[in-house]
Structure 1
Amino acid sequence: MARKPLSQLRVKAKPALVIFSVLLLGNILWFIAWLIPNGSKDGGKEVVATIDKTEITRQDWMLEMEQHYGRNTLRDMVNDVVMKKAAKKFKIDVKPAEVDLELALMRSTPEEFSNILKNMSIEQLRNKVYTDIMLNKVLTKDIIIDDKEVEAYYEDNKALYEVPTSYRTNLIVVDSKNKAEAALKELQSGSDFSVLARELSIDTNSANLGGDIGFVTVTQKGFDQNLANALDGIKEGNISQAIKMEDGNYGILKVIEVIPGQSFTFKEMKEHVRVELALEQLTQSVAPESFWDEFNVSWFYGETN
C-alpha cells in the first residue's frame, strides 16, 4: 500500500491542533480576565449568572472551568516553556524562512487554511507554526535520515511543493443581475463590502462572516469556476463586476490580498522533509512530556506526566 504524502498528513492534522490551541489560549485569557479582580474577600462570591432565583458565582464557574480545561491548559503552557528550554539547550533554531515555508504549504489547501484564519490572526498562526517546528526539531534531533531517502521522497512528491497563487477574497451572492448591479452601485457610493454582504448575500456561510470566503485559488475544487476565472483579473483591494455563476446566481468579488504561487526546490525543502520523515519513526510515547524530568517540572496536578 502506498504511503500517503507526509505533507498531506501534516496539512490535515495541523488545523485541528491549531484550533485546539486557540481554544486553550481562550481558556487562559478567561481565567486571567476574571481572576484579576478577585483581590477582595468576596470576589469568589460574585454572581456571574442567575436562573430564576438560582445563582452561579464566580467561584462555581472558575472551579467548573478548572475541572474541565485546567489540566490541559496548564500542560500546554508547561510544554511550551519546556520545548523552548530544550531548543536552547540543544542549540536548535527556527528561522523565519522555515515558518514562511510551512505557511506556504498550508496555503496549498486553501479551504483548510481559511478555516484556521477564522479562529486566529496570521501573527498568532506564525507563532504557533514556529512552536510546532521547534517541537518537531527537538523530538527528532537524534534521528538520522539518509540524504538519498530525503531526496527520493522529494522527487516522488514534487507536486506537493508547487503552491498556486492564492487570493484572500470576500464574496456577495445575489439571485439576479439587477440586484448585483444595485449592490455594485452601493459599493461604488462608499458602502462597506462586509456590511453589504451581511445584508444582501444569499450565501449564508460567507454572509455571516461579512462575505469572507478566505483564501481561494483558480483551480480550487468546489469553488464556482466562473468566479475562479475572474480572480486573476482583479487587483488587490479591488472589486469585480457582477459575475454570472454556474448556478445562475450573480457574484461580486473583492480581493483583499494576493499571495503569489511558489515552487520549492529540494534545497529549500530538504530540512522540512528530513524532519517529517524522522517524525514517522517516532513512537507515540515520544512527546514534550518526555523532557519534563530533564527540566525539573513540577505542577499543580502532582505527577509530572
Structure 2
Amino acid sequence: MSYNSNRRPPKQEPAGGQQPPKRRLKTKPLVVLILLLLLGNLLWFIAWLIPNGEEKAVGGNGQAEVVAEVGKETIDREQWMAAMEERYGRETLLTLVNELVMETAADEYDIKVTDEEIDLELAMLRSTQDTTGIALYAEDEARLRERTKSQLILEKVLTKDVVIEEEEVKAFYEEDRSIYEVADSYRTHMIVVGSQQEAEEVISELENGSSFDVLARERSLDRATGSLGGDIGFITADQSSVDPAIAAAVESVENGKWSEPLPLQDGRVAIITVMEKAEGQTFTFEEVASHISRELALEQLPQSVSPEAFWQEFDAKWFYGEGSE
C-alpha cells in the first residue's frame, strides 16, 4: 500500500456561499487495501483445492480430473490451477507476504492494534465511501479485519518516531468534528432493469423463492454490480454518490427483504435489498485522538512507503524473485 504525503489539500474559499467540503481521511489507501481482499480469498480457495501430499487430482479412471467441458474439448483441474496461478498468484502471494512482514514488524517494534481501532477504521471507510464502485470488496469480514489490521501496523511503524502536538490534534478534531459523526449505513444489493414491467417480473421471481444475488447476476443491467450479486456496499440515507431513489429507500427496507420498483434518474428501474445494517456512532476526541495523530504524522512522510520496503529488514523472499522487485 502506498501513501500520498500531500493528503490535506490547501483550504479554498467556498464558492457561491456553500460550505467547504469535509476533509476525507485515508479513504483511498484503505480502498486499495480492501480491493486486494478478493485476490487474497482466491489464494485460500486455491490452497483448498490443491490435493494433499503428492497426490494428483484424478478421476475414477486414473486420468486427470475434468472440471469443465465445451463440446469435445475439456479443461482439467491441473490446467485450471495453472491458469489461476498465472493470473492471480503473484498479486495474492504479495498480499500474504506483506501481511506476514507487517506481523513480524509488529513483534519487532512492540506495536499493538486493538479491535476498537479496527472498528474505527471500518466505520470511517463506510462513512467516506464516495462511489458505489469502491465498495465492491468485503465478502469476508474476518479477512477484511485482518487486512485492516495489517494496514494499521504499517501506519504505526511509519509514524512511530513522528511527534504531533496534542494542540494540533485537538484543533483538527474541532475543525472537522463532523467527520467522526458516522451515520447509519446499510449493506445494499441492487438489480437494475429497463422498465417497470421487468422490475415487477423480478419481484415476482423473488416472491417465488429466487435468490436476489442470482437474479442480479442474470438480469441486472449494471454489469459491474451485477457480477457481484448486485453488491453496492454500505450506503447511507443521504449519500450523494448513489441515485436519490435508492438513498431515500434504503432505511425503509427490512434486512433480507426487497424494495418496490425504484425509478432511477437515468430512466431505468431498480430493486434493492438490505443485507446488513451498521449502526451509526459519534466518536469522542479520546476515541479518535490516536487516529488523528497518526493521520497528521502520515502527511509529514517525505515519500510513499509500502510493506515491501521492510522485506530486506525481515528477510522476506518469494519464488517470483528476490525481494519485492
Q: How would you bin the TM-score normalised by the shorter chain? A: 0.7 to 0.9
Equivalent in 99, 102, 125 of residue 121 of structure 2? 102
Change in 2 beyond 3 A, CA 1:74/1:168? closer
Equivalent in 267, 271, 284 of residue 286 of structure 2? 267
Instruction: Tell me, yes or no, if the aligned pair for 1:107 and 1:113 is still in contact at 8 Å.
Output: no
Q: Distance in 2 between matches of 1:303 and 1:29?
A: 25
Q: Partner residue of 2:71?
A: none
Q: Partner residue of 2:35?
A: 19
User: Superposition pairs for residues 50-69 of structure 1, below 5 Å?
Assistant: none
Higher RCO (C-alpha under 8 Å, 6+ residues apart): 2
Q: Distance in 2 between matches of 1:266 and 1:196?
A: 45
Please give the per-residue CA displacement for 1:180-207, whole angstroms capped at 9, x wherever unaligned: 3343233223222223334443334333
Q: Secondary structure at the match of 2:200?
A: helix
Greater shift, 14-23 or 151-160, is seen at 14-23
Change in 2 beyond 3 A, CA 1:95/1:215? same
Q: Distance in 2 between matches of 1:167 and 1:303?
A: 41
Q: Partner residue of 2:9?
A: 4
Please give the per-residue CA displacement for 1:81-137, whole angstroms capped at 9, x wherever unaligned: 343233224332111010010001110133557645436522211100011111211
Question: Which segments of 5 or more consecutive residues in structure 1 lack a partner in the other structure?
Answer: 41-45, 49-57
Q: Partner residue of 2:263?
A: 244
Q: Distance in 1 between matches of 2:286 and 2:150?
A: 23
Given residue 31 of structure 2, which amino acid in structure 1 is its aligned partner? Answer: P
Instruction: Tell me, yes or no, if the aligned pair for 2:39 and 2:92 is still in contact at 8 Å.
Output: no
Tell me, yes or no, if structure 1 residue 142 matches structure 2 residue 161: yes
Tell me, yes or no, if structure 1 residue 284 matches structure 2 residue 309: no
Q: Partner residue of 1:157?
A: 176
Q: Distance in 2 between matches of 1:25 and 1:188?
A: 32
Question: Which segments of 5 or more consecutive residues in structure 2 lack a partner in the other structure?
Answer: 1-5, 11-21, 57-63, 67-77
Q: Partner residue of 1:55?
A: none
Greater shift, 264-273 or 224-233, is seen at 224-233
Q: CA deviation at 1:222?
A: 3.8
Greater shift, 105-114 or 9-18, is seen at 105-114
Change in 2 beyond 3 A, CA 1:258/1:28? closer
Q: CA deviation at 1:237?
A: 1.8
Q: When the two structures are superposed, what TM-score results if normalisation uses the length of structure 1? A: 0.75
Calculate the aligned-residue CA RMSD, in Å: 4.4
Given residue 134 of structure 1, which amino acid in structure 2 is its aligned partner? Answer: I
Given residue 220 of structure 1, which amino acid in structure 2 is its aligned partner? Answer: Q
Q: Partner residue of 2:240?
A: 221
Q: Which has the higher helix share?
A: 1
Q: Partner residue of 2:100?
A: 81
Please give the per-residue CA displacement for 1:131-157, whole angstroms capped at 9, x wherever unaligned: 111121122222211101111122222
Instruction: Tell me, yes or no, if the aligned pair for 1:28 and 1:73 is still in contact at 8 Å.
Output: no
Instruction: Tell me, yes or no, if the aligned pair for 2:187 and 2:277 is still in contact at 8 Å.
Output: yes
Please give the per-residue CA displacement for 1:55-105, whole angstroms capped at 9, x wherever unaligned: xxx89x97xx68x975x7666555433432332243321110100100011
Equivalent in 122, 131, 140 of residue 121 of structure 1? 140
Instruction: Tell me, yes or no, if the aligned pair for 1:15 and 1:112 is still in contact at 8 Å.
Output: no
Q: Partner residue of 2:61?
A: none
Q: Secondary structure at the match of 1:210?
A: coil
Q: When the two structures are superposed, what TM-score results if normalisation uses the length of structure 2? A: 0.71
Change in 2 beyond 3 A, CA 1:145/1:136? same
Greater shift, 173-182 or 235-244, is seen at 173-182
Change in 2 beyond 3 A, CA 1:247/1:75? closer
